[in-house]
Structure formats: C-alpha cells, structure tokens
Structure 1
Amino acid sequence: MKVVVIGGTGLIGSKLVRRLGEQGHEAVVASPSTGVDTLTGEGLAEVLEGAPVVVDVSNSPSFDDQAVMDFFRASTANLLKAEAEAGVGHHVALSVVGTDRLQGSGYFRAKQVQEELIKASGIPWSIVHATQFFEFAKGLADGVTEGDTVRLPAGRIQPVVSDDGAAAVGRAAVGAPVNGVVEVAGPEVFELEEFIRMGLAAHNDSRKIVTDPRATYWGAGLQEDTLLPGPDAHLGEVRFADWLARQQ
C-alpha cells in the first residue's frame, strides 16, 4: 500500500518511513527537500496520486505564536484539499496528549486548529496523540531556562520513546480509520522536574532545576494531570532510564 508521509525526513517521519517499508508498504517521503511543500501546495497533486493513505507528521519551523498558527492552518488546509481531489481515503495526523487542555499556549492552539480542520474535512481520519518524547527532554529544558536555572511548572508527565510514537502512527496508517483519537505514552509517570533532571544529568548538564508556580509549559499553565493520557492509551515498554543508558 502506498502511504505518503508528510514530514517524512523528521524524527518521527524517518522512523515511520523505515517501519512501513519493512512491512512491505510503499512509504513515500514528502517534504520540501523532495519537492513537496504543503504551505504552497507545490508537488501535492503528484505525490498523492494513487495513495489511499496520507500521514502528516510535519511540524512548524517556528514556534512563534502567529507563525505556528499560520503554518498549521495553511499546511493542513492545502493538504486536505489535495487529498479530497486525489481521492485519499484515510488521513492520519500526529498530535499531542493534552492538546485541548493546553490552550494557553500558541503552539497548542495551532495544533487544535489542525485537529478541527481534519475532523471537518469529510475525509476519514485518525489522530494519534503522543506524550512528550524522551528525545525532547533537553529541548524542553532549554525553552524554560533563565540564566543557569530551569524553571518548570508542577505536574506529571508520562514520556515515550520516539520509536514507540512512530509505531503507533504506523499502526494507525495501516489500519482502518477510527474517526477519533488514539493515545500512546510511555510505561512510567514522572514528576516533570524528575523527568528533566534525569535527562540533563545524562548529559552532565549542571543547570539548576526548580519548580516555580509561575512557570508554564510552552506558555500554558498545568494541572497535575494535564500531560497524562487516558486509561485506554497504548503504553510502550521502554523505560526512560534504560533509554538514557543506551544513549551513553
């Protein structure tokens, strides 16, 4: 089966393309580097020809509030229009656990708009909500660092390795549309501060980590369970400590 992967050169996209290929599917990478630009629509008609499934794992190159909103609104609208014209029968998108609870953040407001466009498109769909990936612990810390101090909100998190995130998207892609959201998360729940502390320690990063009641998560306030999946989430098996040890 031909599966077009929008954003197929990124962290999740490259893993997904490899996984689908190993399963015998024709996974087609679609990104600006391959001549496909969802922001302008360039190359979409050609790459979607004969594809029953499209997977969107692309991300905005900028996290500025207006830029990220413009990206997801235009990119998703162009992609869905091209899919309708090509007769695509299943649209799969990767999003984030807690998106609807993180609307204080410009990024998550943009992701919510993306999801709403998908649901209203008339094309059968599946949305995969993943928790934070192990690989992004340092990036999360970098985004809330002031001087040599990482300021984090209180809350719990259930991070997952990117391989399991890609596997969940792959299962959705080759399965029937669910016209709903499926969740994937890791096997362990951490305090957010503990997760970041472990990630930085593995890199011998000596930044001070504090829980600050004024701190936000990408601009949004957190409740204790904002970042946690529901009881029906698919859970991976890779523990964060074991993954960290392998990176070293």
Structure 2
Amino acid sequence: GRPPDDKHWSWVVPPHKKMKVIGLSFHSVSAGKHSGFVHVRTDKDDLVIPVELTVMKGGLHTARPTMVFETIIIPGQKKDLPIALLNAGPNPLAILEVTPLPPVDPQLKVSFRKGTVVHANSERVVAQATYTGTREGRFMGTIRVRTNSSEPGYHDVDMTYQSRVLFGSIQTSSMNTTFMVGPPPHKPVEKHVIVHNQFPFPLLLTSALIPDPHFEILDFVPDQVVAVGARADP
C-alpha cells in the first residue's frame, strides 16, 4: 500500500537522492537469523533488496560477543572500545559492575558509571574498555558485566576481548612523497616511494590504494615480501 502520510516518504525518488518508499514490519516467534528479499518494481527496472534480521531471545546480550582491539604498534599507545548491551527483557536493568575476569591483564582498563540503566528492549553503551600496549604479544580474556537482576539470563553477561601488541612501523621518506607542481601547463610528476620495514617480521605488500583522484599508482607489483629491516620500491 501507499506509505504513511509523512513528508519524508515518497513514490518519486529524484536523481541522486535518497527517499523512504516502504516500511518493513517483522514479527518472529523464534530466535535466530532470518533472511528474505523485498521486490520493488519501478518504471525503470525491478529491484531485489536482500533483508537479514537477527532475533534474540529475552535476556541480556552483548552487542559484540568478542571485542577486537586494533593492533598496537607504538609503546604506550591506547586503543578504546565501547561495551554495549542489549536488554531484550521487559524491565530496566542497572549496571552494578564491569570487571575483567582472572587472570587480569594489567594492560586492560575498564571504566563505567555504576547505576547506568539499560531500559527494556533497548541497547546502550555501559562502559569503555581501554587497552594500553606496554609489552608485545597476543592477548585475550573475558570481561563480565553484572546487573541488579537476580533472574537467570539478566544477572550477568560475559564478553571476550582480543588484542595484539607488535612494536614496529613502515617508514617512508618525505622526499619521495612530496610532489612539487610548477606553473601551468602542469606536467605529471613521478616519484618512487621507498618503504622501510621496521617490524620484527617480513611484510607482504598485497595492494596499493590512493583515494585522491589527483594521484595515480604506477607499476605496483603485488605480493612483494619486504624482509626485516629492508627497504623496497614496490
């Protein structure tokens, strides 16, 4: 049928514009992933839009069961991730505690405000996890969130975290990445970019990309291996 009486809805989509043309309502009696397709017929072509929804049973759920921190390459560098919870129950929940479980990693810190409320059938960020790289390696552990509820499924929820700390860098010379363009008529300026591998392991250069349309990559050879401490002209 015709969309609701709303100025943001339309049957006509102007060129290069986004408009709401249909609303979807979904009801499920079972938890799990559900998928399907929406067929939209237009005066130009027919569109088939895939739709996928995840239905969760009642309880307290994590927005991301596993939190993966970005790789830390500088000593003392910090990476932050929010801890968000979905309360799929009928009653509000107050957050009482957010703590890492033993063995506790001293590089991980968790901050939260006690008493933060996650309302019924809603999602909210309740804490923030910060990982500070002070020693190299791969690390993982578990963070537990405890609420004021005594009901199973609402009392607490666990999530795992993963972090990789690897000190090193890829260096280039500013002389090779600075382009001086003279007065018109402009002529192309070409330079060779030399990379220096300062990681403690060989690097595999798989691809190169420059989003700026003023630049063009020439003669890049994929799948080159740069040894430890070596320089390469990819």
TM-score range relative to shorter protein: under 0.3
User: What TM-score does the superposition give when structure 1 sets the normalisation length?
Assistant: 0.22
Q: Which has the larger helix fraction?
A: 1
Structure with larger Rg? 2
